[in-house]
Amino acid sequence: MDSILLAHGSGGKLQSDLLEKVILKHIKNPIINLLEDSAYLSVNKSKIAFTTDSYVVNPLFFPGGNIGKLAVCGTVNDLLCIGAKPLYLSLGLIIEEGFDYERFEKIIASIASEAKNAGVKIVCGDTKVVEHGKGDGIYINTAGIGEIKHYFSPQKIETGDFIIVTGNIGDHGIALLSERQKLKFKTPIISDVANLTGISDILFKNSGIHCMRDPTRGGIGGILKEIALKSSIEIEINEKSIPINPGVSSICEILGIDPLYLANEGKFIIFSKEEKIVSTLKHTKLGKNAAVIGRVIKKDQKGKVILLTKVGGKRIIDIPRGELLPRIC
């Protein structure tokens, strides 16, 4: 009998199989079936977005942030990318017996400060403690509610749309990996974890945006393939245009990891009719490295994502498969 593997939670093919073959088999309705980052809800005359996410990051503290900051930013960004202004969050804590009180308070202080920064209120919560050895220090769940300002969706993507990334890719994945494996690099890599409310005004005012996503687990490669399949489009990406910190690029070379599949926690992928939004984003702190990385070429059922490589060749980008594992040589 098959059992759940770590790879079932990695945002790749196994996770989508788990969703389709088990979860959606039992739980289905027109809202969840869309599998958006946030659910789009109509309550009386109000349009609201509702989302939830659980945070089980290891290590709990990493260069650039901690699990608390991540738990606020991740949920806020999930609301933003459907086109909602984040308003309220819930906070669920599962703490392992024996967890250091001082570290716990640091995490909660981060949550408070990040919520303030994002302009959201934490309005309800729950705390549970599990036996020593039955948790990993602390797990956090946040759910969020936002007011829909613009409805962005993969269904709105059109042929010719520009594909934009709001900054360097892969920083979070490498920051965590190097902390977890105790890898020391001459140039330390800091996680990009950030809530993107700072650029939301620019994004919401731009009428050309059709779809936004935050490329967390599975990276930009995973998100692009997922959207291409969902919207039945063919995408062409230019490797040379993808912004990446040279330090991250070098580490990927050393470890044999494809940066396209590394997690990001403070970036959006945007499908937009116009490319001029990039120059506006470049004037902001969160979008200073924004770049057009590709176009939507045509409608195509196969959902092909083609990468024009740096040396002028072509290859496909597929859905990530399982955990990113270091190779032998």
Kindly list the residues in this chain that would bind another protein in the complex (CB under 8 A).
Answer: 3-7, 13-14, 17, 181, 183-187, 189, 246-251, 253-256, 258, 306-316, 318, 321-322, 325-329
Minimum CB distance to another protein, residue 112 (Å): 34
Omega cis (within 30) before 86: no
Minimum CB distance to another protein, residue 62 (Å): 17
Whichever of 11 and 83 has its CB closer to another protein, that residue is: 11
Q: Provide the 3-class DSSP secondary structure of residue 310.
A: coil
For the chain, the distance separating the N- and C-terminal CA atoms, rounded to the nearest angstrom, is 33
Whichever of 1 and 43 has its CB closer to another protein, that residue is: 1
What is the crossing angle of helices 101-118 and 67-80, to 10°?
30
Minimum CB distance to another protein, residue 290 (Å): 22
Q: Provide the 3-class DSSP secondary structure of residue 227.
A: helix
Minimum CB distance to another protein, residue 194 (Å): 22
Beta bridge partners of 127: 93
CA distance 19 to 120: 30
110-147 burial, b for 16+ CB within 10 Å, e for fewer? bbeebbebbebebeeeeeeeeeeeebebbbbbbbbbbe
Q: Provide the 3-class DSSP secondary structure of residue 36.
A: coil
Whichever of 189 and 227 has its CB closer to another protein, that residue is: 189
Minimum CB distance to another protein, residue 89 (Å): 32
* Dihedral sign (CA 217, 141, 124, 153): positive
Whichever of 248 and 270 has its CB closer to another protein, that residue is: 248
Whichever of 7 and 89 has its CB closer to another protein, that residue is: 7
* Dihedral sign (CA 294, 283, 63, 109): negative
Whichever of 116 and 310 has its CB closer to another protein, that residue is: 310
Minimum CB distance to another protein, residue 120 (Å): 36
